[in-house]
Amino acid sequence: MTTAHTGRSDENEPFVIYPARRVITINPAFPFGEAVAVSGDRILGVGSADELASWGGHRVDDRFAEHVLMPGFIEAHCHVMSGGLWNSTYVGYFDRRDPQGLLWPGCTSIDDVLERLGKAAADMTDDSQTLLAWGLDPIYFPGERLVARHLDTVTGDRPTLILHASGHLATINSALMDRCGIDETATSPGVARGGDGLPNGELHEPAGMMLAGEAFADMMQANRSEQARWRYANEARNAGHTLLTDLGTTQLWDPEQLGNWKKVTSDAAYPARVMVAMSNLFGATADPAELAELCVKLKSEQTDKLRFGIVKLILDGSIQGFTARISWPHYYKPPPGHIGNGMWLTAPDQMADLMEPYHRAGLTVHCHCNGDEATEAFVQAVEQVLERYPRWDHRHTVQHCQLTTPDQYRRMAALGMCANIFSNHIYYWGDQHRDVTVGPERAARMDACATALASGVSFSIHSDSPITPLGHLHTAWCAVNRVTASGEVLGPDERIGVPDALRAITIEAARQIKMDGEIGSIEAGKLADFAVLEDDPLSVDPMALRDIGVWGTVLGGVLQPAQISDV
Amino acid sequence: MSTQRLPMTVVGGYLGAGKTTLVNHVLRSTDERIAVIVNDFGEISIDEDLIVAADSDKLTLANGCICCTLADGFAAALMQIRSAGTLPQRLLIEASGVADPNQIAAYGHTPGLRLDAVVVMADAEQVRRQANDRWVADTVRMQLAAADLLVVNKIDLLDDSKEADDLCDWLAGLSPGAAVVRASRAAVPIDVLLGPGSASDAADGRERPAPDAAAAPGWHTVEDLFESQTVVLDVPVPMLVIEALLADLPDGVARLKGLIQAAPPTSADDTNAADAANAAAYLIEAVGKRTSMTPHATDPTQPPPRWAISLISNKDSLPPTWLAERLVRRG
* Residues B268 and B314 grouped into a single domain: yes
End position of a domain, from candidates B220, B255, B276: B220
Angle between helices A214-221 and B74-82 (to 10 degrees): 110
CA A541 to chain centre: 25
Instruction: Find the mean pLDDT for residues B303-309.
Output: 88
Nearest to B91 by CA among B111, B66, B125: B66
Kindly provide the b/e burial profile for residues A367-404, where b requires at least 16 CB atoms within 10 angstroms of the residue's own CB.
bbbbbbbbbbbbbebbebbbeeeeeeebbbbbbbbbbb
Nearest to A171 by CA among A215, A227, A226: A215
Provide the residue ranges of all domains of chain A, joining segments of one domain with +: 81-221, 312-512
- pLDDT, tens digit (0-9, with 9 covering 90-100), for A205-225: 888 888 888 888 888 788 889
Sheet bearing A73-75, strands edge to edge: A73-75, A241-246, A273-276, A306-307
Using pLDDT thresholds of 50, 70 and 90, give the confidence band for residue B202. very low
The torsion angles phi and psi of B257, rounded to 5 degrees, stand at: -150, 140
The shortest C-alpha distance from A282 to chain B (Å) reads 5
- Contact present, A520 and A510 (Cβ < 8 Å): yes
* Residues B216 and B236 grouped into a single domain: no
pTM greater than 0.95 (yes/no) = no
CATH assignment of the domain containing B84: 3.40.50.300
What is residue A335's three-state secondary structure?
coil
* Residues B179 and B88 grouped into a single domain: yes
DSSP-assigned letter for residue A382: H
- Contact present, B144 and B175 (Cβ < 8 Å): yes
Interchain contact, A347 vs B97, CB within 8 Å: yes
Interchain contact, A207 vs B69, CB within 8 Å: no
Using pLDDT thresholds of 50, 70 and 90, give the confidence band for residue B217. very low
Structure confidence at residue B206 (pLDDT): 40
CA distance A18 to A58: 11
- pLDDT, tens digit (0-9, with 9 covering 90-100), for B87-96: 999 999 999 8
Instruction: Find the mean pLDDT for residues A337-363.
Output: 92
Tally of structural domains, chain B = 2
* Residues B48 and B184 grouped into a single domain: yes
CB under 8 Å to B6, separation ≥6 — which residues? B88, B89, B90, B91, B112, B113, B114
* Residues B165 and B118 grouped into a single domain: yes
What is residue A241's three-state secondary structure?
strand
Closest Cβ–Cβ partner in B14, B57, B109 for A188: B109
A525: left (phi over 0), alpha (psi -120 to 50) or beta: left
* Residues B65 and B207 grouped into a single domain: yes
CA distance A147 to A118: 15
Nearest to B142 by CA among B98, B100, B96, B93: B100
pLDDT surpassing 70 at residue A455: yes
Architecture of domain A312-512: Alpha-Beta Barrel (3.20)
* Residues B203 and B235 grouped into a single domain: no
Chain A interface residues (partner B, CB cutoff 8 A): 181, 186-191, 205-208, 210-211, 213, 216-217, 220, 251, 253, 280, 282-288, 325, 339-341, 343-350, 373, 377
The torsion angles phi and psi of A110, rounded to 5 degrees, stand at: -65, -35
DSSP-assigned letter for residue B43: T
DSSP state string for A444-474: HTSS-HHHHHHHT--EEE--TTTTS---HHH
pLDDT surpassing 70 at residue B222: no
The shortest C-alpha distance from B159 to chain A (Å) reads 26
- pLDDT, tens digit (0-9, with 9 covering 90-100), for A352-367: 999 999 999 999 999 9
* Residues B188 and B233 grouped into a single domain: no
Q: Beta partners for B179?
A: B149
Using pLDDT thresholds of 50, 70 and 90, give the confidence band for residue A564. confident
Which region among A39-53, B32-46, B54-68 has the lowest average model confidence (pLDDT)?
A: B32-46
Nearest to A150 by CA among A140, A139, A136: A136
CATH assignment of the domain containing B311: 3.30.1220.10
Note down the domain range covering B273: 228-328
What is residue A154's three-state secondary structure?
helix
CA distance A451 to A447: 9
pLDDT surpassing 80 at residue A426: yes
- pLDDT, tens digit (0-9, with 9 covering 90-100), for A437-452: 999 999 999 999 999 9
Q: Which residue of chain A comes nearest to B142, CA vs CA?
A: A339
Dihedral sign computed on CA atoms, order A77, A80, A85, A90: positive
Count CB-CB contacts under 10 A for residue A40: 16
End position of a domain, from candidates B220, B241, B259: B220
Count CB-CB contacts under 10 A for residue A316: 28
Count CB-CB contacts under 10 A for residue B217: 11
* Residues B123 and B103 grouped into a single domain: yes
* Residues B253 and B191 grouped into a single domain: no
pLDDT surpassing 90 at residue A548: yes
* Residues B96 and B200 grouped into a single domain: yes
- Contact present, B60 and B66 (Cβ < 8 Å): yes
CA distance A37 to A430: 42
Using pLDDT thresholds of 50, 70 and 90, give the confidence band for residue A28. very high
CA distance A284 to B70: 9
pLDDT surpassing 90 at residue A13: no
Q: Which residue of chain B comes nearest to A189, CA vs CA?
A: B106
- pLDDT, tens digit (0-9, with 9 covering 90-100), for A70-90: 999 999 999 999 999 999 999
- Name the fold adopted by A81-221: Diaminopimelate Epimerase; Chain A, domain 1 (3.10.310)
pLDDT surpassing 80 at residue A322: yes
CA distance B204 to B183: 20
CA distance A495 to A384: 33
Strand pairing class (A15-24; B113-123): unpaired
* Residue B172 or B270, more confident: B172
Instruction: Find the mean pLDDT for residues A220-233.
Output: 91
Interchain contact, B98 vs A341, CB within 8 Å: no
pLDDT surpassing 60 at residue B284: yes
Closest Cβ–Cβ partner in A188, A253, A343 for B100: A343
Q: What is the ipTM of this complex?
A: 0.82
End position of a domain, from candidates B220, B245, B270: B220
Contacts of A341 in chain B (CB under 8 A): 138
Which region among A554-563, B106-115, B263-272, B314-323 has the lowest average model confidence (pLDDT)?
A: B263-272
